[in-house]
Chains A and B, each alone.
Chain A
């Protein structure tokens, strides 16, 4: 026979202040946990979503990233005529790119020296990297730029028609684009030759190449890496961006560790509440036992009570934590939005379950072990 849940619910209302404080404590921990998870989720997602399965990134052999890689322009003739490259209207889908991280100023907003990622591209870029959605003009020549949604935020919400300053030259914003939440949304995209001139560079940084069939990816990579004329590395695009994201793993690790430690603190808090709650009800427990409820029913009953508190706290915490959803964060190459996804919310709920279960387990065990006589005698 199970102790009716009504009994537990009534108990919670009996000790309102204590119940509310425990719920608030758990809600706070879960809210902190949701915030750090949303941070980690947003950061990882933005990198994982970047790239297409049939694209590969070609960089200087051994280079850490596109912006630390330089490849002579003449390599384009070599790459372009390799087999297995997809063609569109007879043109090979090979996009040479220059990646630089310059200080950018927005004179109209009085903003100076903002760390941005700028990519110089040719028009073919938009056929190779086909995630970029833009309703405005894609025209880049003569110092025009298009900027990603997150870049726009970092640049103080500049608008189409505004001017920004990169390498002492003024660039007019022609459009704002979205890229399915990928890290491309942090980019300022300009014409490759304009950028080479403005930055006094002569070499490309990388190529993005579209393969004609997924089966040929490995052979194309091998052909590029085996070429003796230029020392190059080729990496599937998705893998490249996922690895770039690993640079910030430490920030995630610390965040998640903090969330977990605070939740453990919460378990102790919950346990304390349940112990007191039980200590105050010893005679009641004796009575319950005397009228026929088994030890197991008592155990289950108290765990359920603790779970109710924890889950209410958890849901409240998720609700509060949800407010961080969509907050934009800037961290060098990693600009992203905090994302309270279903996964994050479910993890939060699961954690509150864990808090409730373990917070209730030991006290409930103690309650179920009481001898009827002792319990009823207790004053």
Chain B
């Protein structure tokens, strides 16, 4: 600790170096945190599902919006033992203003839906939504994406769909925060799909019933015009996101590559800083500093630089992420303390590994040799 003032002086001695070393690390740290945040977003979608909920989709159909089953199935499902609630949801994909602005419209029977999925209105009025046949409640992630406001009327490119935003909501299920909730009746009229749902949300009494009830439902409808596939909400979310696996793998490879590059850059920066100070190290050694102390002083300096760079990189990333941004409203960009700690640990690792080799060679230098070096 007594060396701290000395170390701090050293860091700030050559400001240009400091700024460059710090910025060279801040950039990759920013990228690493951003990539970790995307991966965390995928996990959040899967983990915010409810373990007492089942989803029934059209069997064999992998597309989460084109699946269709009949609303008439609902009564039959409700008759099973162990089922608390069932509600049908009609979902369709739209675009807003241009083709890469995707919007999922989820048509719900709101009174039923609300008893199964927690919807917390953070702006606007739930009552207005209930009164307006073309009203909508918009998930907060989507609101951040497109900057919509309560009271605004929004038109989709497809099917002359336009809705009036009556409220903005949060939900424990993060999937819905990227959706627009509209009345199922409204959407099915616009889409000419009365009497159909994309999927059912089924709440069961306890988790042990998930698998027997799924089997019962699917065998009941096996010979119906639209056979069904029922599984836990978590499994169906995992299935939905499975095709993103390779992208996620690529993200991890990018994170790894970024770390490696940063280690090279850090090693380079530190070895340059040390080279400039070889004579100084010789002087310190000759007035009695031990090799170990010198190693300690310089490794602390290198770690401090890494931490400053990390804090800057993380702050920029947090400033962007905290606004609740997402990838097309679909994948949330999540930021939490665990991610921050993870990023900080990665940065410390970079600082440590980057400093290690130059430092060892500097500490090993004999006093005479280091004092001899001029220039």
A binding-site residues for B, Cβ under 8 Å: 17-18, 21-22, 24-25, 28-29, 31-32, 35-36, 39, 61-64, 67-68, 100-104, 113, 115-116, 166-168, 199-200, 243, 246-247, 249-251, 254, 258, 261-262, 264-266, 268-269, 271-273, 275-276, 279-280, 283, 329-332, 379
How does the 8 Å CB contact mask read for B266-282 relative to A, with 1 for contact and 0 for none? 01110111011000000
Interchain CA distance A31-B100 in the complex, whole Å? 28
Q: Which residue on B lies nearest to A114, using beta carbons?
A: B62
Which of B17, B100, B158, B261 is A29 in contact with, Cβ under 8 Å?
A: B261
Q: Which residue on B lies nearest to A359, using beta carbons?
A: B20
Taking the closest CB of chain B, its distance from the CB of A168, in whole angstroms, is 7
In the complex, are the beta carbons of B65 and A68 less than 8 A apart?
yes
In the complex, are the beta carbons of A262 and B28 less than 8 A apart?
yes
Taking the closest CB of chain B, its distance from the CB of A40, in whole angstroms, is 12
User: How many B residues touch the partner, as a band?
Assistant: 35 or more
- Of the listed residues B160, B267, B273, the one surrounded by the most CB atoms of chain A closer than 10 A to its CB is B267
In the complex, are the beta carbons of B160 and A272 less than 8 A apart?
no
Q: Which residue on B lies nearest to A101, using beta carbons?
A: B63
In the complex, are the beta carbons of A64 and B62 less than 8 A apart?
no
Q: Which residues of B, 155-172, contact A by the 8 Å Cβ criterion?
A: 157-160
- Of the listed residues B94, B102, B243, B327, the one surrounded by the most CB atoms of chain A closer than 10 A to its CB is B243
Write out the residue numbers on chain A whose beta carbons fall within 8 Å of the beta carbon of B258. Answer: 32, 262
In the complex, are the beta carbons of A21 and B267 less than 8 A apart?
yes
**Dominant secondary structure at the B interface:** helix
Taking the closest CB of chain B, its distance from the CB of A55, in whole angstroms, is 19
Q: Which residue on B lies nearest to A279, using beta carbons?
A: B276
B13 at the interface (CB under 8 A from A): no
Contact of A329 with B250 at beta-carbon distance under 8 Å, contacts A18-B272, A32-B258, A258-B35 already known: yes
Write out the residue numbers on chain A whose beta carbons fall within 8 Å of the beta carbon of B226. Answer: 200
Write out the residue numbers on chain A whose beta carbons fall within 8 Å of the beta carbon of B100. Answer: 246-247, 249-250
Write out the residue numbers on chain B whose beta carbons fall within 8 Å of the beta carbon of A268. Answer: 20-21, 23-24, 27
Interchain CA distance A67-B62 in the complex, whole Å? 11
In the complex, are the beta carbons of B247 and A329 less than 8 A apart?
yes
Interchain CA distance A22-B267 in the complex, whole Å? 9
Interchain CA distance A214-B167 in the complex, whole Å? 49
Interchain CA distance A32-B28 in the complex, whole Å? 12
Closest 3 CB pairs of A and B: A265-B27, A28-B261, A21-B268
Write out the residue numbers on chain A whose beta carbons fall within 8 Å of the beta carbon of B154. Answer: none
Taking the closest CB of chain B, its distance from the CB of A274, in whole angstroms, is 10
Cross-chain pairs A/B with CB under 8 angstroms, 11 sampled:
A28-B264, A32-B257, A64-B92, A64-B94, A100-B61, A102-B62, A168-B227, A251-B247, A251-B327, A329-B250, A331-B244
Write out the residue numbers on chain B whose beta carbons fall within 8 Å of the beta carbon of A266. Answer: 24, 261, 265
Which of B28, B92, B260 is A265 in contact with, Cβ under 8 Å?
A: B28
B31 at the interface (CB under 8 A from A): yes
- Of the listed residues B26, B254, B267, B374, the one surrounded by the most CB atoms of chain A closer than 10 A to its CB is B254
Write out the residue numbers on chain A whose beta carbons fall within 8 Å of the beta carbon of B117. Answer: none
In the complex, are the beta carbons of B21 and A272 less than 8 A apart?
yes
In the complex, are the beta carbons of A331 and B243 less than 8 A apart?
yes
B binding-site residues for A, Cβ under 8 Å: 16-17, 20-21, 23-28, 30-31, 34-35, 38, 59-63, 65-66, 92-95, 98-100, 102, 157-160, 225-227, 239, 242-244, 246-247, 250, 254, 257-258, 260-262, 264-265, 267-269, 271-273, 275-276, 327-328, 374-375
Write out the residue numbers on chain B whose beta carbons fall within 8 Å of the beta carbon of A17. Answer: 271
Write out the residue numbers on chain A whose beta carbons fall within 8 Å of the beta carbon of B60. Answer: 102-103, 166-168, 199
Contact of A379 with B260 at beta-carbon distance under 8 Å, contacts A68-B92, A269-B269 already known: no
Known: A21-B264, A251-B327. 10 other contacts (CB 8 A): A18-B272, A24-B264, A25-B261, A28-B260, A104-B62, A200-B227, A246-B98, A251-B247, A283-B375, A379-B375
Interchain CA distance A164-B11 in the complex, whole Å? 64
Taking the closest CB of chain A, its distance from the CB of B257, in whole angstroms, is 5
In the complex, are the beta carbons of B62 and A103 less than 8 A apart?
yes
Interchain CA distance A145-B271 in the complex, whole Å? 62
In the complex, are the beta carbons of A247 and B102 less than 8 A apart?
yes
In the complex, are the beta carbons of B268 and A18 less than 8 A apart?
yes
Write out the residue numbers on chain B whose beta carbons fall within 8 Å of the beta carbon of A28. Answer: 257, 260-261, 264
Contact of A265 with B265 at beta-carbon distance under 8 Å, contacts A64-B94, A329-B246, A329-B247 already known: yes
Taking the closest CB of chain B, its distance from the CB of A161, in whole angstroms, is 23
Write out the residue numbers on chain B whose beta carbons fall within 8 Å of the beta carbon of A25. Answer: 261, 264-265, 268
Interchain CA distance A265-B316 in the complex, whole Å? 14
Write out the residue numbers on chain B whose beta carbons fall within 8 Å of the beta carbon of A271. Answer: 20
Interchain CA distance A29-B261 in the complex, whole Å? 7
In the complex, are the beta carbons of B375 and A280 less than 8 A apart?
yes
Q: Which residue on A lies nearest to B159, using beta carbons?
A: A62
Write out the residue numbers on chain A whose beta carbons fall within 8 Å of the beta carbon of B254. Answer: 32, 35-36, 258
Write out the residue numbers on chain A whose beta carbons fall within 8 Å of the beta carbon of B246. Answer: 329-331
Interchain CA distance A272-B273 in the complex, whole Å? 10
Interchain CA distance A222-B262 in the complex, whole Å? 57
Q: Which residue on B lies nearest to A36, using beta carbons?
A: B254
Which of B95, B239, B269 is A272 in contact with, Cβ under 8 Å?
A: B269
Interchain CA distance A332-B65 in the complex, whole Å? 13
Contact of A265 with B23 at beta-carbon distance under 8 Å, contacts A28-B257, A101-B63, A330-B243 already known: yes
Interchain CA distance A150-B157 in the complex, whole Å? 31
Q: Which residue on B lies nearest to A338, using beta carbons?
A: B250
Which of B26, B93, B268, B375 is A22 in contact with, Cβ under 8 Å?
A: B268
In the complex, are the beta carbons of B261 and A254 less than 8 A apart?
no
In the complex, are the beta carbons of B265 and A115 less than 8 A apart?
no
Taking the closest CB of chain A, its distance from the CB of B19, in whole angstroms, is 8
